[in-house]
């Protein structure tokens, strides 16, 4: 019974919202009937949340009555024409015809741009401080270099290409995370990313950020314990019904050193 | 002598009113009722009527747009064309035929829906005739220029510029194939008096 009561109130609230937001005909709402139902329900409501829903439903119905008034005003005005007829016309007319209609009902505003004394002062200042063309267009000393070929190994040495494909690196990190977690199902973020060198730690953190973004793992913040927990997923998932947000995690060399000292 | 002084004063006020309405001194063009009242005195409506008559000789008029309650201090006055431009002229104002057609569709749809419509719904109607990639950018431009306004729930409304520039009744009448009102009839409706005003909504 409690569930039914709540469902009715939620249904009323939703219906009223639809009238307000989606422009439904407010006369489709049986306002009187809903008020009668709410009146019957009121003595049975006990919890604060139920009373709150009741208030929301009553406010929603009041809004519908307001919308009905606006609807009548609009229908009685000269601007009211059957929406269906208008839609049919919009559909049938050519683009040129539609443009012609606008133009024939259009009385453009006339206004003039003017320069104020402040504007003139600013312009003068700009002109005085503007470097000459010679200064602005001063030739840069450049030498022409012909294009050539660079070996993949050379690019790797320069840090532009990685020996491993990014997808492979990601997959490797995901497997490593699953192995490290084992039966526990979760582990500390810092324990996982911590490596022997600071550069490798940052690289691991970077890869973990992709694991989380792509749905290979989830990240949970536990503010009271000051802990960040990583949970690998058995297969990549798109979390549709979960609120997602970005978490900036700062990794400084000092922080990395402190954690290495504490945890060996 | 006193009469001459009065005429001179009146001419000065007319010039001041023309400056206030024609020269852009805010983000929006035109002037608010309180500004005109401060500059021209309590009888500013009479001065505007005279200005409207003077501008009429040049094919222009004073347009009054009400911002809520009738006779509010925040009402706005603009100078607009008394008649309408030709389609070829409108294109020289920087308007594309497509843009004008899109505005007709958007405004007619909103007006048919009682003055507000879901943005998505308007986009869906526009998609029947225009490519999707142009629709979003064009609606954004209409909102920026004041032809449409949007609230945080994604509802589109008629914007301030539409209320000032577009004869909504004529727009719908023309759409349904009615004859447009003759210029002489429009003149009597759209002067600086209350006949030509349009209310917010």
Q: Under the phi-then-psi rule, with left for phi > 0, alpha for psi from -120 to 50, and beta for the rest, what region is A96?
A: alpha
* Residue A113 resides in a domain: no
Cβ under 8 Å to A: B residues 14-53: 22-25, 29-30
| Chain A contact present for B174, CB below 8 A | yes
Long-range contacts of A116-122, Cβ-Cβ distance < 8 Å, separation of 24 or more: none
Is A95's CB within 8 Å of B128's CB? no
pTM above 0.80? no
Residue of A nearest to B98 (CA): A95
* Residue A251 resides in a domain: yes
* Residue A213 resides in a domain: yes
- Per the structure, the complete domain to which residue A31 belongs is given by 2-76
Give the Cα-Cα-Cα angle A199, A203, A207 (nearest 5 degrees). Answer: 170
pLDDT at A79: 62
Q: How confident is the model at residue B178 (pLDDT cuts 50, 70, 90)?
A: low
Question: How far A89 CA sits from the closest chain B CA (Å)?
Answer: 7
Q: Which chain B residues have a beta carbon less than 8 Å from that of A21?
A: 118, 153-155
Q: How confident is the model at residue B126 (pLDDT cuts 50, 70, 90)?
A: very high
Q: Which chain A residues have a beta carbon less than 8 Å from that of B113?
A: 23, 83
**Cβ-based neighbours of A116, under 8 Å, separated by 6 or more:** none
Q: Kindly report, residue by residue over B3-27, the tens digit of the pLDDT.
A: 888 888 889 999 999 999 998 877 7
pLDDT at A165: 65
* Residue A102 resides in a domain: no
Q: Give me A173's structure tokens.
A: 């990190």
Give the span between the Cα atoms of B21 and B30, in whole angstroms: 4
Of A35, A58, A76, the residue at which a domain comes to its end is A76
Once rounded to an integer, what is the mean pLDDT over residues B182-194?
A: 42
Do residues B105 and A90 lie in contact, with contact meaning Cβ atoms separated by under 8 Å? Answer: yes
A48-76 helix and A2-22 helix, angle to the nearest 10 degrees: 30
Of A15, A42, A76, the residue at which a domain comes to its end is A76
Is B155's CB within 8 Å of A21's CB? yes
| Chain A contact present for B57, CB below 8 A | no
Is A111's CB within 8 Å of B22's CB? yes
| Chain A contact present for B86, CB below 8 A | yes
What are the residues of chain A with a beta carbon less than 8 Å away from any beta carbon of chain B? 21-23, 70-71, 74, 78-79, 81-83, 85-87, 89-91, 93, 95-96, 98-114
Work out whether strand B148-150 and strand B155-158 pair parallel, antiparallel, or are unpaired: antiparallel
- In 3D space, the residue among A167, A101, A261 whose CA is nearest the CA of residue B90 turns out to be A101
Q: How confident is the model at residue B179 (pLDDT cuts 50, 70, 90)?
A: very low
Could you give the count of Cα atoms lying within 13 Å of A191 in the half-sphere of its Cβ?
13
Question: How far B1 CA sits from the closest chain A CA (Å)?
Answer: 36
Please report which residue ranges of chain A form alpha helices under DSSP H. Answer: 2-22, 31-41, 48-76, 83-92, 95-104, 117-129, 133-136, 152-158, 166-181, 189-193, 198-213, 253-263
Is B112's CB within 8 Å of A100's CB? no
For A111, the closest of B29, B93, B170 (CB atoms) is B29
Count of CB atoms situated within 10 Å of the CB of A96: 13
Is B84's CB within 8 Å of A114's CB? no
Is B108's CB within 8 Å of A90's CB? yes
Of A30, A46, A76, the residue at which a domain comes to its end is A76
Q: Which chain B residues have a beta carbon less than 8 Å from that of A96?
A: 87, 97, 101
Q: How confident is the model at residue B109 (pLDDT cuts 50, 70, 90)?
A: very high
Question: Domain count of chain A?
Answer: 2
Enter the DSSP assignment of B80. Answer: E
For B22, the closest of A95, A107, A112 (CB atoms) is A112
pLDDT at A2: 66
**Cβ-based neighbours of B123, under 8 Å, separated by 6 or more:** B132, B135, B136, B139
- In 3D space, the residue among B192, B170, B175 whose CA is nearest the CA of residue B78 turns out to be B192
Residue of A nearest to B105 (CA): A90
The CATH number linked to A225 is 1.10.10.580
Question: How far B4 CA sits from the closest chain A CA (Å)?
Answer: 31
Per-residue model confidence as pLDDT tens for chain A (264 residues): 567 778 888 888 888 888 877 767 788 888 898 899 899 888 888 888 888 889 999 999 999 998 888 878 777 665 667 788 888 888 889 899 999 999 999 999 998 877 778 888 889 999 998 888 777 776 666 666 666 766 656 666 666 666 556 777 888 889 899 888 888 888 989 889 988 888 888 889 988 988 888 888 988 887 777 788 899 988 777 666 566 667 778 888 888 888 877 776
Cα torsion A53, A56, A58, A61: sign: negative
Q: What is the mean pLDDT of chain B?
A: 84
Q: How confident is the model at residue B197 (pLDDT cuts 50, 70, 90)?
A: very low
pLDDT at B68: 67
Question: How far B63 CA sits from the closest chain A CA (Å)?
Answer: 9
Give the span between the Cα atoms of A187 and A190, in whole angstroms: 9
For A107, the closest of B112, B153, B165 (CB atoms) is B165
- Which domains does chain B possess? 2-82+182-196 (no CATH), 87-166 (1.10.10.10)
Question: How far A161 CA sits from the closest chain B CA (Å)?
Answer: 36
Q: How confident is the model at residue B104 (pLDDT cuts 50, 70, 90)?
A: very high
Give the span between the Cα atoms of A93 and A160, in whole angstroms: 57
* Residue A103 resides in a domain: no
Radius of gyration of chain B (CA): 19
* Residue A181 resides in a domain: yes
For B24, the closest of A87, A104, A114 (CB atoms) is A114
Could you give the count of Cα atoms lying within 13 Å of A246 in the half-sphere of its Cβ?
3
Q: Predicted ipTM?
A: 0.83
| Inter-chain contacts counted by CB atoms under 8 A, chains A and B | 150
Once rounded to an integer, what is the mean pLDDT over residues B154-173?
A: 92
Is B166's CB within 8 Å of A105's CB? yes
Q: Kindly report, residue by residue over B85-97, the tens digit of the pLDDT.
A: 998 888 888 889 9
Residue of B nearest to A74 (CA): B114
Residue of B nearest to A90 (CA): B105
């Amino acid at each position: 019974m409690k569930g039914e009561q709540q469902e009715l109130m939620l249904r009323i609230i939703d219906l009223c919202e639809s009238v307000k937001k989606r422009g439904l005909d407010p006369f489709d709402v049986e306002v009187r009937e809903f008020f009668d139902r709410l009146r019957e329900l009121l003595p049975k409501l006990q919890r604060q949340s139920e009373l709150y829903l009741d208030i929301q439903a009553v406010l929603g119905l009041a809004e519908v009555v307001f919308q009905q008034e606006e609807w009548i005003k609009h229908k009685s005005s000269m601007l009211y024409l059957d929406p269906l007829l208008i839609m049919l016309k919009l559909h049938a007319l050519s683009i040129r015809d539609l443009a012609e209609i606008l133009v024939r009902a259009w009385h453009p505003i006339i206004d003039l741009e003017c320069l104020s004394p402040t504007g003139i002062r600013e312009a003068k200042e700009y002109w005085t401080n503007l470097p000459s063309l010679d200064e602005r267009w001063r030739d840069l000393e450049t030498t022409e270099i012909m294009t050539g070929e660079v070996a993949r190994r050379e690019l790797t040495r320069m840090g532009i290409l990685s020996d491993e494909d990014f997808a492979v690196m990601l997959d490797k990190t995901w497997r490593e995370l699953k192995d490290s977690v084992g039966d526990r199902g979760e582990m500390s973020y810092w324990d996982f990313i911590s490596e022997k060198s600071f550069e490798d730690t940052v690289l691991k953190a970077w890869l973990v950020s992709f694991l989380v973004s792509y749905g290979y793992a989830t990240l949970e913040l536990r503010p009271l314990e000051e802990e960040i927990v990583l949970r690998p997923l058995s297969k990549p998932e798109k979390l549709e019904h979960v609120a997602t947000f970005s978490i900036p995690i700062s990794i400084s060399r000092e922080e990395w050193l402190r954690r290495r000292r504490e945890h060996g | 002598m006193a009469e001459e002084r009065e005429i001179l004063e009146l001419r000065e006020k007319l010039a001041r009113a023309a400056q206030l309405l024609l020269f852009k001194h805010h983000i929006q063009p035109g002037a608010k009722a309180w500004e005109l009242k401060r500059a021209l005195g309590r009888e500013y409506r009479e001065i505007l009527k005279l200005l409207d008559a003077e501008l009429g000789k040049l094919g222009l008029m004073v347009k009054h747009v009400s911002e809520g309650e009738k006779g509010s201090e925040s009402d706005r006055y603009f100078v607009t064309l008394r008649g309408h431009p030709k389609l070829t002229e409108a294109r020289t104002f920087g308007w594309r035929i497509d843009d004008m057609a899109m505005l007709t569709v958007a405004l007619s749809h909103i007006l048919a829906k009682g003055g507000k419509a879901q943005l998505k719904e308007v986009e869906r109607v526009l998609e029947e005739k225009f490519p999707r990639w142009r629709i979003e950018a064009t609606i954004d431009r209409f909102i920026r220029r004041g032809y449409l306004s949007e609230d945080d729930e994604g509802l589109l409304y008629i914007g301030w510029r539409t209320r000032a520039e577009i004869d909504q009744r004529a727009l719908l009448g023309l759409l349904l194939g009615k004859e447009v009102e003759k210029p002489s009839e429009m003149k009597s409706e759209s002067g600086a008096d209350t006949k030509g005003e349009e209310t917010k909504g």
